[in-house]
Chain A
Amino acid sequence: MIEIKNLVKHYGDKQALKGISFTVKDNEVLGFLGPNGAGKSTTMNIITGYLSSTSGMVKINGHDILEQPDLAKKDIGYLPEQPPLYLDMTVEEYLTFMCELKGVAKKDRKEHIETIAKMVGIEAVTGRLIGNLSKGYKQRVGIAQALVGDPPILILDEPTVGLDPNQIIGIRKLIKDLSKNHSVIVSSHILSEIQEIADRVVIIHKGKIAAIDTVKDLSQRLTGSTKLLLSFKGPAKDAVNRLTMIQGITDVTIRNSGNLSEVEITTAKVAGDEIRAAIFFMMAKSGWPILEFRSLDPTLEEVFLSITAG
């Protein structure tokens, strides 16, 4: 468990963090979002002990990072924005070095490294020089390094940067698997990624927490209504007239008209079965075949934009 209270960080005159507080429970994935320069990496650097905060407190499983640094650091695996790799070492030498740094017993090292290499998919390159690896492999070696010593808390700063789509899916799956018995903080620029893997999201903006909630609650809190997308074959204008007559629909806007019409329907409350059924029957009666009909929950992108723009 990570407890963060009132973190403040000054860089000279500039206040990078203005009182950040949140907690991460055991076995929870916390997504960390924010525009560039919002203070994401600074917060992560302070949690891991790389930077010191101007004021505030960080507790890792009950141990203060400043007062009991060794106990706190033992529980953290950290992948910074720039993976801390020695390019002149082979992957195996590097992971062995990390085992030594983190105090993994000598007899367990070989097995531990093999397990981790398998987990992140780098078994094939363990004998190669890190400097000769592709960016994707380097990133994975960085993740492997964070897993050395089996720390219960993982802090990953943009772990999927530079990976190809297959690898991204692989890493997301890995994070999901790890979250069964790890607390994870993940920052990312790819919002759909956070939406997919995080239990809760912290949106940080200009050094402050702008929002902290589950992805679902964030979306609903923001809109209070639900949007539906309907595309069909038929005249768009007539459809709008008929749709607005259905009870519970507050607004219909045309997205596309012509041979293939597309309209966006806004309902007052969360669209229940009745409204959807009424729409279906109305369309059927009018003889306009429905091609697509789905709800338009606001994406995290929209939530993010509306929070950080304000």
Chain B
Amino acid sequence: MYAIFKREFLSYFRTPVGYVAMAIFTFISGFIFYTLFSRGIVSISEEIISLRSLFVVIVPIITMGMFAEDRKRGTDVLYFTTPGDLFSVVCGKFFAAIALCLVMFINVFIHMIVVSLCGGRVGIGAWGSVIVFFFLAALFISIGLLASVLTDNQIISAIVSFLLILVTQLISAIGAYFGTAASTLMSYMGMNVSSRNNAQKSITNAISWFDPFAKTSDFGDGIFSVSALVFCISFAIFFLYLTFRILEKKRWSQK
């Protein structure tokens, strides 16, 4: 696993991919920080919460090539024909992407230092946001890896992961939409108001339960909820496992 991790991590800096991702992240985080700072608000957790929307752009960039490029170049042969299991290959790539996020995040750490030097306070809420940021990164990167293993075209892989991550970010809105739709449908069927409202609420809640942002929103206020972290990790493991199974299946059914 370490060999794969090292190769993938260093390859971010051998190609423009790592630099592009870092440039986007640094620019946007710097811009957000500047905007907040110039208004006299020194809230690191607010900056990090805004940065979470960047996953939808950053993650496809850093994960699109991970399996797609291997397949296209024929280097995936190495994983199948050398000793060692495929799950460690998946994990190696996953941790390489996490490590890149850590490197990108250095900029935010600098902002935290600036804030404390200028007399601001980096409170527990800020640290909570940092923790959440990485758990969410793990979740979205695992989705990106899954998109990458599905195709051998990087562009398609990027688009698929972009759409999947976009859906997870809009999940509360999607839940609300389905709730309203169900309620409208029931009103046509002539059902009473209270059962319609109940149905709307349950459907909205059921779908919104999957919203990773809503789940982790307490962290910015300094409230640590283990269940939210377990949620992110379980889904990350689920997607990584799915990636591993698809990778393994490819050798059974090839064109």
Contacts and interface: CB of A to CB of B under 8 A. Distances in A.
Interface of A: 11, 48-52, 69-71, 73-74, 76, 78, 80, 82-89, 97-98, 100-103
A51 B251 contact: yes
Given A82-B73, A84-B75, 10 more contacts: A50-B81, A52-B252, A73-B81, A76-B81, A82-B74, A85-B73, A88-B14, A89-B7, A101-B3, A102-B83
Given A86-B7, A87-B73, A89-B14, A48 B254 contact: no
B82 A102 contact: yes
Contact of A84 (B3, B11, B74, B251): B74
B2 to A, nearest CB: 7
B77 A103 contact: no
A84 B83 contact: no
B77 A70 contact: no
A50 B3 contact: no
Contacts of A85: 73, 75
Nearest to A77: B81
Interface string B214-230: 00000000000000000
A304 B211 CA distance: 64
Interface in B61-95: 73-78, 80-84
Contact of B75 (A52, A70, A86, A103): A86
Contact of A49 (B3, B73, B75, B81): B81
Contact of B80 (A49, A71, A87): A49
Contacts of B3: 97, 100-101
A50 B76 CA distance: 9
Contacts of A11: 254-255
Nearest to B77: A84
B38 to A, nearest CB: 40
Given A84-B73, A84-B77, A89-B14, A73 B83 contact: yes
B207 to A, nearest CB: 38
A100 B14 contact: no
Interface string B2-43: 111011000100110000000000000000000000000000
Contacts of A76: 81
B73 A50 contact: no
Contacts of A73: 81-83
